[in-house]
Each structure stands twice: as C-alpha cells, then as structure tokens.
A and B are shown apart, each in its own frame.
Chain A
C-alpha cells in the first residue's frame, strides 16, 4: 500500500491530475497530498481536478544568453489549492498575475503538470 504521494504519482502517470478534499464536505481542497486534512485531521478523498486556475505570482529566471529565461509561477487552482508550475507559450510581456490558465500533463516516464493560457472571452 502506497502513501498519498505515490498514489498521486500513479494517477499522474495515467494522465489524471488529482486533488483531495475532506470526505465530510467541509474544509478546503488539499495539495500537496496528505494522509489526512492539514489542520483538522479529517479524512480525505481524491477527486479529479478541473485543471483550471489563475496565476497568483510569477517570476522569470534568467539564464546565460542565448538561453531564454524560463518562468516559474504559483497557480491558484479553481478548486482552492495552490501549486507551483510553469506557463508555456508566454513571454515576460504576456505572462501576468491574474492570467487564467489550464493544466496539461506532459512528459513520458516522469510526467509533470504545466499550464497553458486560457483564451479569455472578449467582453
């Protein structure tokens, strides 16, 4: 029997992005995975994340030219948890705090979650 981290890994390997929530319906979404709800000790259950989120903060890490900078972001997931990530297909000019993003699972043997900008409807 695996711990919650390994269970999360196994799901990701099957292209599923899981989060946790208390089984009693109260409290907030949990990430990174736990054996019980942090702060309360409540039982947790897995559920599939929508993958939708909003950029909470962002930094561009500089590299020696000609290597371009790469970004590291914090994403507030629609279900309530926060995770580190990166946004693909953006530049320092276009990536901004508050940007709507959606998760995508990339990589083969060691999959990871990256985020893409979500086209905003023009209002």
Chain B
C-alpha cells in the first residue's frame, strides 16, 4: 500500500490572493485572514462551514491556533506543517485525505506575509544548522548557490541559461496585472546584476513582496454545485530527503524526482498530458532543477531547455505563467501562489491563460531544496 489518493474526489471550491506586491500596515494574520475571506466569497461558502484550517505563517509557530482565533472558529482540525515553501502542498495532501474520509467537510489553506512592508528582507525564522553555521553561508541563498555551482560544473550549465529563467518569468509577468516586477529584462541585464553568492546574482533571486493567498477545498460532489468551474485535485505527493542540502547525495537532484512521479501516478497522467507547470522559483537554478527532476527534460539538460524558449510565452511548456516568484510575487513561502495560479489556469481565468489547458502541475519547494511537494490539478473533463 501507500500513496492511495482520492483522485478527483476533492476539489478547489474557492481561491484568492490578497495584497500581492505591497500591502503596508497589515500583520501576517490580517493578510491571511483577508485571503480566507476572499476565497470563501469566491466559493460562496459561509465562514461557519469551515471545519479544517491549514496554515503556515513566517512569524507565528502556532499559526493554526491564531487563525482559529482570528476567524472565530472551533475547527475540527488544524495543521501548521512547516515544510517551508512546500508547506501548502503538504497541507493539501492532508486536507484531501481528511475531506475524502469525511473527517472534514470544508478545509481552508491560507498564507500571508508582509516581508516587503515590514523590512524589505526575506523574513524567515529558519537558520543554518550548527554544522553549517560556523562558515556563515547566507541562508538560504548560499545553499542554492552551491547547487547552482555544482550544476554548472557537472553539466556545463551556463550563466546565460540561468539568466534565461529570469527573462522568461519577466515576459510572463509583463502581461499579468497582478505581477509586481514588470519591464524589460534581458539575459545581459541578469548577468550584469550584482553578484551576491557566486554564481547567484541579484536578478537570479526571487522578489521580496507582501502577499497572501487562500484555497477552499470541499469534496467534489459539493464543489460541482458551486459557482466556480470545477478544479479537482488529481494527485498530490510530498517528499522530504533532508533539511540541509549539504546532506544531499547529489546536490543537483532534488526530492522533486520523487514527489513528481508519485503525484503523476496518482493522477494517472503522463508528463506529456500536463498543460502548464507552476513551480517555486526562489532562484533561477530552481526552475532548471525542478523541470529536470519532474521529468520534463533529462537531468543536466535543463539549461538548454529553458534557454530554448520552451518555458516562455508561446513555448511548448508554459511555466510560471503569472511571472513566478522571480517577477510576480514572493512573500517568503511561495507555494500557495503556484497553486492559485494553477487553479486559475484550470478555471480559464488566468491573466496569461493557456488556451485549452486541462491539467496543471503545481510544485513547491521548502528549506534549502529540502522538502518538495507536487500537486496535479485538473478541470471538469479530467474526472
């Protein structure tokens, strides 16, 4: 046994974002609470019907309790799983199982962060562990830099190829009204930007923004009668291999190589049937690593794949159609925004809608390439 998933039996009934970009004067729980209100309105479900709360906040270790208090609910269950930016995909796994089992009837997954307005730096309580800390790596940036440097060494991945990831994200963002970073960006601009922790430069890094997002999940039989196009969850898998990526056998291979195939098997789909991919691009190397590990190109060929234009507007595999963490928003744990963009694509309401898209893969990354989680969404035709 293992990996038994209620394919298509749970659906996204509501989805929202709030305060993407800059939303000064709001605490993290106020941001998350507002997103929940909007997602429930989107689903036309009343607040008292919510009986499961799933949340991670950057500054609150007891966020599940705080959200119950803030919403004024007595939920049957709260989950404060902290797998970094993959937390929310992990929340979704648990929520789907509990909804399908009948333990819950209406689950909310929420996130909110104000790191742009509250200081302008990445806000995380996470630190290097005691074995890594004596060498003063930037956390988490230098850990990704070590992966990027090794990828360049092992496969010949070039600076230009890394930069092309940021350029593709910007091209998507330029036609998304919600995206925070817009304007021209070239490979040369990225390579000329400030070196931070080699080979990573400023334009290889995700944004620092505010933002909140929420999803409302119910069993599909109920969501079918809701006001929104049906977005069933076809598969979802989380994989955790370590906390510090220094402990990877091969730093160029992430646990996405496990989470992706497991989620795809649950969905009963092949990679060629995935219409769009929304993945957590904290740094340009992430997009290359995850596309390889998920199987969209062979290991080591991610650089040429992204540089070919395949992931850009008009390419064969639309990736991060909202502009991603690199150019749309990055409040600190981006996973929720990857899922909301996937849901919008499945509804047919994305700013950069992919015509005829029926399936979307949303992929979250947490820690230092440590925790990986993949979710496959579909539309009404897939169930």
A69 to B149, CA, bound (A): 16
Partner of B131, one of A32, A70, A97: A32
A64 to B134, CA, bound (A): 20
Report yes or no: A57 in contact with B147, Cβ–Cβ below 8 A. yes
Q: Mark B136-155, 1 if CB is under 8 A from A, else 0.
A: 11100010011101100100
Question: A56, A84, A92: which has the most chain B beta carbons within 10 Å?
Answer: A84
Report yes or no: A59 in contact with B135, Cβ–Cβ below 8 A. no
Report yes or no: A62 in contact with B136, Cβ–Cβ below 8 A. no
How many chain-B residues does the 8 Å CB contact rule pick out?
A: 26
A57-B153, A58-B146, A61-B138 are contacts. A84–B195 as well, Cβ < 8 Å?
Answer: no
B residues 234-249 touching A (CB-CB < 8 Å): 246-247
A60 to B149, CA, bound (A): 10
Report yes or no: B197 in contact with A60, Cβ–Cβ below 8 A. yes
Report yes or no: A62 in contact with B247, Cβ–Cβ below 8 A. no
A108 to B126, CA, bound (A): 28
B residues 178-214 touching A (CB-CB < 8 Å): 194-200
Partner of B198, one of A31, A32, A59, A84: A59
Report yes or no: A86 in contact with B135, Cβ–Cβ below 8 A. yes
Whole-angstrom distance from the CB of A89 to the nearest CB of chain B? 16
CB neighbours (8 Å) of B132 from chain A are 84
Report yes or no: B251 in contact with A5, Cβ–Cβ below 8 A. no
A44 to B239, CA, bound (A): 27
Whole-angstrom distance from the CB of A88 to the nearest CB of chain B? 12
CB neighbours (8 Å) of A70 from chain B are 136
A74-B146, A84-B132, A112-B134 are contacts. A61–B246 as well, Cβ < 8 Å?
Answer: no
A residues 62-82 touching B (CB-CB < 8 Å): 62, 69-70, 72, 74, 82
Report yes or no: B135 in contact with A97, Cβ–Cβ below 8 A. no
Partner of B149, one of A32, A59, A61, A84: A59
* Chain A: CB-nearest residue to B128: A84
How many chain-A residues does the 8 Å CB contact rule pick out?
A: 23
Whole-angstrom distance from the CB of B51 to the nearest CB of chain A? 38
Report yes or no: A59 in contact with B142, Cβ–Cβ below 8 A. yes
CB neighbours (8 Å) of A69 from chain B are 198
A51 within 8 A of B: no
Report yes or no: A92 in contact with B131, Cβ–Cβ below 8 A. no
A61-B197, A83-B131 are contacts. A72–B149 as well, Cβ < 8 Å?
Answer: no
Whole-angstrom distance from the CB of A99 to the nearest CB of chain B? 12
A86-B135, A97-B153 are contacts. A57–B251 as well, Cβ < 8 Å?
Answer: yes
A59 to B153, CA, bound (A): 12
Whole-angstrom distance from the CB of A14 to the nearest CB of chain B? 18
Partner of A56, one of B137, B142, B145, B150: B150
A58 to B200, CA, bound (A): 12
* Chain B: CB-nearest residue to A114: B135
A82 to B132, CA, bound (A): 11
Partner of A59, one of B130, B131, B197: B197
Q: Mark B104-146, 1 if CB is under 8 A from A, else 0.
A: 0000000000000000000000000111101111100010011
Return 16 A-B CB contacts under 8 Å, by A number.
Answer: A32-B131, A57-B149, A57-B150, A57-B251, A59-B142, A60-B198, A61-B142, A62-B194, A62-B197, A72-B135, A72-B136, A74-B146, A84-B131, A84-B132, A97-B153, A98-B153
Mark B residues whose CB is within 8 Å of A. Answer: 129-132, 134-138, 142, 145-147, 149-150, 153, 194-200, 246-247, 251
Listed from nearest, the 4 A-B pairs whose CB atoms lie closest are A59-B145, A57-B150, A57-B146, A60-B198
Q: List 12 additional contacts besides A57-B149, A59-B199, A72-B137; criterion CB under 8 Å.
A: A57-B147, A57-B153, A59-B145, A59-B197, A61-B136, A61-B138, A62-B198, A74-B146, A82-B246, A84-B135, A85-B135, A97-B150
